[in-house]
Structure 1
Amino acid sequence: MPASLSSSQIASYRNDGFVFPVDVMSPSEARVLRSRIEDLEQTYPDGSLPQPISQYFRVGAHVVIPLMAEIARTPAVLDAVESILGPDLLVWSSELFIKEPNTRKIVSWHQDLTYWGMGETDDQLTAWIALSPATPQSGCMKFVAGSHNNRIVEHRDTFHEDNLLSRGQEIAVDVDEATATNIVLEPGQMSLHHGRMFHASGPNGSDDRRIGCAIRYVTPRVKQLVAERDYAMLVRGCDSERNWINVAAPSEPFGDGAMALYSRIRSDQSVALAQGARQQVGLYADAATGDSVS
């Protein structure tokens, strides 16, 4: 299957650490996906699941929500990712980042790989798919071109209530925001970025929700170096290295088997993702028991 990125787009990713916009679905298809996500929110109000649905949106959504596994397998998305990472692709994590209209939630400057337990590997990237307009007003992402050429720099945890990151982590060095690129996306477009990329996003001052789907792809060469076990879903090619416990896409939303698997994954991944935190990391609190997060 031919890769969908042009040679110039691939060069942009190699040089800058990101590429955008990449068309992966029509605006109408994106609207349908948004509607299906919002239907899930209505179908599963708080109290109907062991955790609020926002928890499942933010950690390993593809494990318990068939729609998220479907999005992660979108052929146009995989074609673009393949042109960067090669033909063998796994999904390590998937998340929905939802900023409600006229709210103060932000994402501070950070590098994704800092807490993933994978070292500084180049064999990963994030595909961020817009399901509503991502603009400076709505709090789109901002990238510092070339910052992926840095190693992982020191981060500090803030645990600020307005920070969407699990520990409110932020880069402990100055970032010149004047050099940042606003990643403006229309519904149905995506960006790709490297896990060492310096990136952030501001609050949503618009009258619409800002909804983005982040899919974390890795190759079979990547290893979990901190946690004893880790999990991934094969979406293209083959897993020749067997560094991951392979998981299948769920057959129904929040089925018993998928929920049990989700609890195991959350518990095992918390070893890396909450490593060194000086207080409880909300998205992984009580991960070993599966109890509700307060």
Structure 2
Amino acid sequence: MPKLLSESEVATYRDNGYHFPIDALGAGEVATFRRRLEDYEAASGGPIKAEMRHRSHVLFTWIDEMIRHPKILDAIEDLLGPNILCWNTSFFIKEARDPGFVSWHQDATYWGLSSSDVATAWIAMSPANKISGCMKFVAGTHKEQVQHEDTFDKNNLLTRGQEIAVEVDEARAVYVELKPGQASLHHVLLFHGSEPNRSDDRRIGLAIRYIPTHLKQAVGQRDWATLVRGKDTHGHFLPAHVPKRDLEPAALAFHKEVSEEQVKVLYRGTGKSAYRA
């Protein structure tokens, strides 16, 4: 019996590769989380950048709280089962009237994980709609991995500016419009992308990557994850740091180590050794 999604919603996710919306965070919760992000940005002199956008849950207590949110985990359990790891988190932020975009791609392309049994919960921290550059999905495209090409386009928010090297039927695109606090779920192989933000507000999204505990890192020598529900009897991932306070020294040191290892996987074959700014 599903915990949050209905049986028909789970079946539709299996067929289409996505489900939305989920009313995940309350208005007060998401407003607080956005304020915490923007307080950090104000203190650091500008928008969160480069490696700080990734695996941020090991740096900030409030993001660690988000990855453990019961409503999100209930939905993920309906898709992946009771034993769940948070493998990664990534901010996708488009400033107001910014040309930044995300090309059509599949998440799994460069992650190095042993299986496509991976689900992303994408949480809107500001309005995500057609004007602000919400995500768009193509239903049923999660059945197989396709070839990608790297562009390193300066306006592409992806690590390598990667884009699908086969034709994508734009007419089939489904726009994933979300209110602040709502979330969408999508399969790691689903074709998805997003257009620039033409609104006067920032478009802020946090993507949380969840995996069942049986997965492995198949490319990198080491990898880390956070157990957020159930038990991990496999031990394929080292336990990630859990922050007791924001940006504590132990968290910063751990994040540096993890980021260096992840860059080796994500940018393999390119000669690059750091996240794009």
TM-score by length of 1: 0.90
- Residue among 217, 220, 226 paired with 1:224: 217
Task: Write the mapping of 1:22-101 to structure 2, written as runs, cut at 5 A.
Answer: 22-45=22-45, 53-101=48-96
Secondary structure of 1:147 counterpart: coil
Cα distance in 2 between the residues matched to 1:86 and 1:5: 13
Q: Which amino acid in structure 1 is aligned with residue 146 of structure 2? A: V
Residues 56 and 275 of structure 1, relative CA distance in 2, 3 Å threshold? closer
One-letter amino acid matched to 2:183: M
Of residues 160, 164, 168 in structure 1, which corresponds to 2:157? Answer: 164
Q: Which residue of 2 aligns with 1:267?
A: 260
Secondary structure of the 2:252 match is: helix
Contact map agreement 1:18 1:191 (CA 8 A) in 2: yes
Q: Residue 198 of structure 1 is aligned with which of 173, 184, 191?
A: 191
**Cα 1:170–1:204 shift into 2, 3 Å:** same
1:167–1:282 contact (8 Å) kept in structure 2: no
Q: Partners of 2:10 and 2:67 in 1: how far apart?
A: 20
Q: Which of structure 1's runs of 4+ aligned residues deviate more than 4 A? A: none
| C-alpha distance after superposition, 1:90-130 (max 9, x if no partner) | 111011111001110000011000000014x2321100001
Match of 1:124 in 2: 118
Q: d(CA) in 2 for partners of 1:282 and 1:104?
A: 23
Please tell me the residue identity of whatever aligns with 1:271. Answer: K
Equivalent residues of 1:90, 1:219 under 8 A apart: yes
Write the distance in 2 (CA, Å) between the matches of 1:281 and 1:34.
30
Matching residue's letter, 1:280: K
TM-score, normalising length: structure 2: 0.95
Q: Which amino acid aligns with 1:252?
A: R
Aligned-residue sequence identity (percent) comes to 47
SS at 1:200 equivalent:
strand
Pair 1:209-2:202 in alignment: yes
- Structure 1 stretches of 5 or more lacking a match? 47-51, 285-292
**Number of residues paired by the alignment?**
277
User: What CA distance in whole angstroms lies between the structure 2 residues aligned with 1:199 and 1:211?
Assistant: 17
Amino acid at match of 1:249: V
Q: Report the equivalent of 1:115.
A: 110
- Whether the 8 Å CA contact 1:56–1:64 is kept in 2: the answer is no
CA–CA separation in structure 1 for the residues paired with 2:18 and 2:123? 13
The Cα of 1:57 is off from its aligned counterpart by: 4.0
